[in-house]
């Protein structure tokens, strides 16, 4: 009996690996094209850090004319949730990041290098495990959980590294006959990798992001095929990324310490190893310290959060690129109108330590992104959002023509309005343009410098009776507010007001504020001239009169 017989006994039906090598040939891509992937477990939940990795991977693939694929790593069946793949596929879609290949729904996929769901690749893993078994580079291990636990305890007491290695790797030294005997007797077993490594030797690894790192060689005989016949992450990673012809593995830096093992697996399997880029996690300030964004503690860790809040996907992506490459910010300043795809992203310029998550900055980017949209886009996107998350807003937006006018205020010009950072802001930002909302809360107006009812009413009356003409152009309109200020004894210029303290009680700006507050119930709005145009004469007059009435 030799290794070959043992391999045949364990995996009698497994194919020769040459079958798979031919079935999944080298990809025919231009020189330098990066083939990379996003490889989540199907828990349905996408962490913002996962989206960050996927964005980086997709960006470099696109930039080089390569391929970005979605592989679902479902070999840990305990962690599965129902419709877990759909959640991931939809999240990528929400961010306009659908993969070129891989899973596109719970059960469907596209591309020639599949299946892209690991649980459907059992035969493939077994073929490669058989290949290792045949060469004596893997072996069945019959140790029970109790035995392993006992070994661990002994190692702890002796203050040794824990794990299955060297003299502790009991099954490593069984003879082929003994192994075959146990299998025939129906004993449970897993398949372990027979590591050729030595802990006292170092390997050098050059990570694209982390740079040069030294590690001791791997000497652990890790499990490659579990008792349920499915592979472990490590083995599946080597087999899949080889057969899917991945050139770059871009993943979380929690895997950095597994690199020695992974390189060894590639070596023993006879594969060319991919390049690795290990991404640092996104961090958060917490009580003076820094910690990883946590699924449990931070709602913003889930990508669904951004969708629910209505933070535009473009803003989230732009923000993530900002933290990925520090040169992005200057590029954006110099190229405010370019698409993010045009940015020359550099994988090797990513920061070695974790970037701090900054919601204020993200919302600020949201404002800029939305300010560049047309009224029509703002309308469509806020309506889409409202249909899912805010019925009242959806109802307000039913009158499309009017909504377009409202969103069109101060938009499309050089300095567009920048008051909306996310779709959840929209209602609050436009509600005063809707009479039922406006009249619903007219009591407590935040009048400012000019706050005496009498003066307010006087201004409003004068305005309606003497100065307001719907047909005025903007200059005439403003000249009239100035004239009104003069008539009331207020300074006609802010400068003049400041130069002569004590001479005036208020200035033209304060008069405008009175009009603005009476019209909108706010002190801060986009351009008042445009607001008046959209409201139209009758509604303007009615709003001002209502205030006069309330003051009397
Ligand atoms: N399934 C692994 C994870 O979610 C993937 C790591 C990788 O990208 O290789 O952490």
Mutate to test the pocket of ligand 1, among 69, 236, 255, 261 (most ligand atoms within 8 A of CB): 255
- CATH number for the domain spanning 319: value is 1.10.1160.10
Last residue of a domain, one of 410, 440, 470: 440
Higher pLDDT, residue 354 or 181: 181
Average pLDDT in the 386-410 region? Answer: 97
Residue 57, domain member (yes or no)? no
Pocket flag, ligand 1, residue 231 (CB < 6 Å): no
Residues forming a β-bridge with 279: 252
Percentage of residues of the chain with pLDDT beyond 90: 86
Cross-strand partners of 143: none
The reply to whether ligand 1 has any atom less than 6 angstroms from the CB of 47 is: no
The ligand 1 atom at the shortest distance from the C-alpha of residue 50 is: 4
Cα 70 to ligand 1 centroid, rounded to whole Å: 11
- Separation of 50 CA from ligand 1 center, angstroms? 9
SS3 412: coil
User: Length of the chain in residues, anyone?
Assistant: 552
Last residue of a domain, one of 440, 468, 492: 440
Surface-to-core class of residue 485, CB atoms within 10 Å of its CB (0-12 exposed, 13-18 middle, 19+ buried): buried
Whether 241 is in the pocket of ligand 1, judged by its Cβ within 6 Å, is no
Secondary structure letter of residue 423 according to DSSP: G
Q: Is residue 62 part of a domain?
A: no
Of ligand 1's listed atoms, the one at least distance from the Cα of 73 is 1
Q: Across the strands, what pairs with 252?
A: 279
pLDDT of 441 above 80: no
Pull the structure tokens for residue 296: 């449990």
Domain identity same for 218 and 335: no
Residue 251 Cβ contacting ligand 1 at under 6 Å: yes
230 lies in the same domain as 353: no
Residue 422 token pair? 């996310």
Q: Is the CB of 268 under 6 A from ligand 1?
A: no
Total number of domains constituting the chain: 4
Tell me, yes or no, whether 395 and 538 share the same domain.
no
How remote is the CA of residue 342 from the centroid of ligand 1, in Å?
28
489 within 8 A of 515, measured Cβ to Cβ: no
Is the C-beta atom of 262 inside 6 A of ligand 1? no
Which ligand 1 atom is the nearest neighbour of the CA of 53? Answer: 8
Whose alpha carbon is nearest atom 1 of ligand 1?
A: 40
Residue 110 maps to a domain = no
Residues 140 and 229 in one domain: yes
Smallest CA separation from ligand 1 atom 3, residue = 40
Q: Give the C-alpha distances (Å, rounded to integers) separating 526 from 418, 471, 532.
A: 9, 20, 11
480, pLDDT greater than 60: yes
Which ligand 1 atom sits nearest the alpha carbon of residue 251? 8
Q: Is the pLDDT of residue 443 over 60?
A: no
Closest among 79, 86, 103 to 44, alpha carbons compared: 86
Q: What would you measure as the largest C-alpha separation in the chain, in angstroms? A: 111
CA distance linking residue 522 with residue 510, whole number of Å: 13
Tell whether 263 is covered by a domain. Answer: yes
3-class SS of residue 211? strand
Taking the centre of ligand 1 as the mean of its atom positions, its distance from the CA of residue 109, in whole angstroms, is 19
- Does some domain include residue 145? yes
CA of 70: how far to CAs of 110, 279, 311, 314, in Å?
A: 10, 18, 24, 21
Distance, CA 221 to ligand 1 centroid (Å)?
21
Residues 509-528: what's their mean pLDDT? 93
Q: Does a structural domain hold residue 215?
A: yes
Residue 169 shares a structural domain with residue 315: no
| Pairwise CA distance, residues 473 & 433, whole Å | 21
Cβ-Cβ contacts under 8 Å for 52 (sequence gap 6 or more):
279, 282, 320, 323, 324
Are 153 and 231 found together in one domain?
yes
C-beta neighbour count of 466 within 10 angstroms: 12
pLDDT class for 79, splitting at 50, 70, 90? low
Atom of ligand 1 at shortest distance to CA of 255? 6
CA of 524 to the centre of ligand 1 (A): 48
Provide the domain limits for residue 309. 285-370
CA distance 109 to 117: 9
Using a 6 Å cutoff on CB, does residue 526 contact ligand 1? no
In this structure, are 231 and 264 located in the same domain? yes
Residue 24 CB burial class (10 angstroms; 0-12, 13-18, ≥19): middle
CB count, 10 Å around CB of 416?
18
Phi/psi of residue 207, nearest 5 degrees: -90, 140
At residue 394, the 3 state secondary structure works out as: helix
On whether both 526 and 412 belong to a single domain, the answer is: no
Mean pLDDT for 220-237 is 96
Tell me the CA–centroid distance for residue 40 and ligand 1, in Å: 5
The answer to whether the CB of 40 is under 6 A from ligand 1 is: yes
CATH of the domain at 490: 1.10.10.350
Residues 407 and 501 in one domain: no
Q: Computed over its alpha carbons, how large is the radius of gyration of the chain?
A: 33
Q: Is a pLDDT exceeding 80 seen at residue 289?
A: yes
In this model, does residue 493 exceed pLDDT 80? yes
- For the cut 90, the answer to whether the pLDDT of residue 442 exceeds it is no
Q: Are the CB atoms for 328 and 231 separated by under 8 Å?
A: no
Question: Is residue 299 included in any domain, yes or no?
Answer: yes
**Per-residue pLDDT, 551:** 83
Residue closest to 24 by CA, chosen among 187, 225, 241: 241
Q: Which SS3 state, helix, strand or coil, does residue 372 take? A: coil
Distance CA 53, CA 517 (A): 47
Contacts of 487 (CB under 8 A, 6+ apart): 462
- Which pLDDT score, from 0 to 100, does residue 440 have? 78
Q: Which atom of ligand 1 is nearest to the CA of 241?
A: 9
What pLDDT is recorded for position 357? 93
pLDDT mean over 444-472: 88
CB atoms within 10 A of CB 417: 19
The span from the CA of 222 to the CA of 392, in Å, is 57
**What distance in angstroms lies between residue 510's CA and the mean position of ligand 1's atoms?**
59
Quick one: which H or E segment has residue 102?
strand 101-103
39 CB within 6 A, ligand 1: yes
pLDDT band at 241 (very low <50, low <70, confident <90, very high): very high
What tens digit of pLDDT does each residue of 316-345 get? 999 999 999 999 999 999 999 899 999 999
Give the residue whose CA is nearest to atom 10 of ligand 1: 40
At 450 the pLDDT is 86
Distance 38 CA to ligand 1 centre (A): 8
Ligand 1 centre and the CA of 149: distance in Å? 27
Minimal-distance CA residue to ligand 1 atom 5 = 39
- Whether 73 lines ligand 1, by a CB cut-off of 6 Å, is yes
Residue 180: what pLDDT? Answer: 96
| Residue 40 CA, closest ligand 1 atom number | 4
In a domain, 272, yes or no: yes
Centre of ligand 1 to C-alpha 39, Å, is: 5
pLDDT at 44: 74
Q: Helical H runs in 228-374?
A: 233-243, 259-269, 303-309, 313-324, 328-334, 359-371
118 — phi, psi (to 5°)? -60, -35
**Coil, helix or strand for 257?**
helix
Cβ atoms of 112 and 79 closer than 8 Å: no
Other C-beta atoms closer than 10 Å to the C-beta of 297 total: 11
Query: How far apart, in whole angstroms, are the C-alpha atoms of residue 220 and residue 149?
Result: 16
Distance from C-alpha of 164 to C-alpha of 261, rounded to nearest angstrom: 13
Same domain, 358 and 471: no
Mutation pick for ligand 1 pocket among 73, 118, 240 (CB with most ligand atoms within 8 Å): 73
What is the share, in percent, of the chain residues with pLDDT greater than 70? 99
Report the Cα 341 to chain-centroid distance in Å.
16
Residue 516, by phi and psi: left (phi above 0), alpha (psi -120 to 50) or beta? alpha
* Residue 232 Cα to ligand 1 middle (Å): 11
Cα 483 to ligand 1 centroid, rounded to whole Å: 69
Tell me, what DSSP letter sits at residue 375? Answer: H
User: Ligand 1 atom closest to Cα of 250?
Assistant: 8
Q: Which of 260, 279, 298 is the last residue of a domain?
A: 279
**CATH number of 214's domain:** 3.40.50.620
Residue 398 CB neighbours (<10 A):
9
Residue-level pLDDT at 43 = 85
Residue 79 CA to residue 93 CA, distance in Å, equals: 23
CA 72 / ligand 1 centre spacing (Å): 9
- Beta strands 138-141 and 190-193 are antiparallel
Task: Give the mean pLDDT of the chain.
Answer: 94
Cβ of 71 closer than 6 Å to ligand 1, yes or no, is no
Q: What is the signed CA dihedral for 532, 538, 542, 544, rounded to 10 degrees?
A: 30
pLDDT band at 444 (very low <50, low <70, confident <90, very high): low
| Beta-bridge partner residues of 284 | 291
Q: Average pLDDT in the 152-167 region?
A: 96
- Please state, in angstroms and rounded to a whole number, the distance separating the CA atoms of residues 511 and 486: 10
Distance CA 168, CA 455 (A): 91
Are residues 390 and 495 both part of a single domain?
no
Shared domain check, 266 and 133: yes
| CA separation for the pair 373, 416 (Å, rounded) | 9
Of 19-28, 143-152, 254-263, 495-504, which range is least confident?
A: 495-504
Confidence at 158, pLDDT banded by 50, 70, 90: very high
Is the CB of 41 inside a 6 Å radius of any atom of ligand 1? yes
């Amino acid at each position: 009996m030799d290794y070959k017989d043992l391999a045949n006994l364990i995996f009698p039906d497994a194919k020769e690996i040459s079958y798979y090598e031919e079935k999944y040939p080298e990809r025919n891509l231009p020189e330098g094209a990066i083939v990379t992937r996003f490889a989540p477990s199907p828990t349905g939940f996408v962490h913002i850090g996962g989206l960050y990795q996927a964005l980086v991977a997709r960006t470099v693939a696109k930039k080089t004319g390569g391929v970005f694929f979605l592989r679902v790593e479902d070999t840990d069946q305990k962690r599965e949730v129902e419709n877990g793949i759909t959640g991931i596929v939809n999240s990528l879609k929400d961010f306009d990041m659908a993969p070129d290949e891989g899973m596109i729904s719970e059960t469907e996929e596209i591309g020639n290098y599949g299946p892209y769901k690991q649980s459907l690749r059992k035969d493939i893993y077994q073929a490669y495990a058989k290949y290792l078994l045949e060469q004596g580079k893997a072996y069945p291990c019959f140790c029970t959980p109790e035995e392993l636990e006992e070994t661990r305890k002994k190692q702890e007491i002796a203050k040794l590294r824990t794990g299955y290695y060297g003299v502790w790797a009991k099954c490593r030294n069984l003879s082929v006959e003994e192994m075959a005997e146990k299998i025939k007797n129906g004993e449970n077993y897993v398949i372990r990798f027979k590591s050729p490594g030595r802990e006292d030797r170092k390997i050098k690894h050059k990570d694209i992001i982390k740079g040069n790192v030294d590690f001791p060689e791997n000497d652990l005989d890790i499990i490659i095929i579990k008792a349920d016949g499915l592979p472990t992450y490590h083995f599946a990673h080597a087999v899949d990324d080889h057969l899917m012809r991945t050139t770059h593995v871009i993943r979380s830096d929690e895997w950095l310490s597994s690199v020695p093992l992974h390189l060894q697996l590639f070596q023993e399997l006879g594969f060319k190893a991919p390049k690795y880029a290990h991404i640092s996690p996104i961090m958060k300030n917490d009580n003076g310290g820094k910690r990883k964004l946590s699924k449990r503690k931070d709602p913003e860790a889930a990508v669904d959060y951004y969708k629910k809040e209505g933070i535009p996907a473009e803003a989230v992506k732009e923000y993530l690129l900002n933290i990925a490459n520090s040169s992005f910010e200057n590029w954006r300043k110099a190229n405010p109108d370019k698409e993010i795809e045009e940015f020359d992203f550099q994988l090797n310029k990513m920061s070695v330590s974790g970037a701090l998550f900054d919601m204020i900055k993200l919302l600020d980017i949201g404002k800029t992104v939305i300010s560049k949209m047309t009224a029509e886009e703002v309308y469509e996107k806020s309506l889409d959002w409202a249909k899912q998350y805010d019925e009242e807003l959806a109802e307000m937006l039913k009158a499309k023509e009017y909504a377009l006018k409202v969103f069109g205020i101060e938009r499309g010009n050089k300095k567009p309005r920048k008051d909306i950072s996310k779709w959840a802001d929209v209602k609050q930002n436009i509600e005063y343009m809707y009479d039922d909302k406006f009249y619903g809360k007219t009591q407590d107006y935040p009048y400012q410098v000019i706050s005496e009812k009498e003066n307010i009413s006087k201004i409003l009356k004068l305005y309606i009776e003497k100065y307001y003409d719907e047909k005025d152009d903007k200059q005439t309109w403003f000249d009239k507010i100035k004239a009104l200020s003069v008539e009331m004894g207020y300074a006609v210029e802010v400068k003049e007001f400041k130069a002569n303290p004590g001479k005036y009680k208020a200035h033209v700006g304060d008069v405008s504020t009175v009009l603005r507050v009476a019209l909108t119930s706010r002190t801060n709005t986009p351009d008042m001239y445009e607001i008046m145009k959209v409201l139209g004469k009758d509604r303007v007059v009615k709003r001002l009169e209502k205030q006069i009435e309330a003051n009397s």
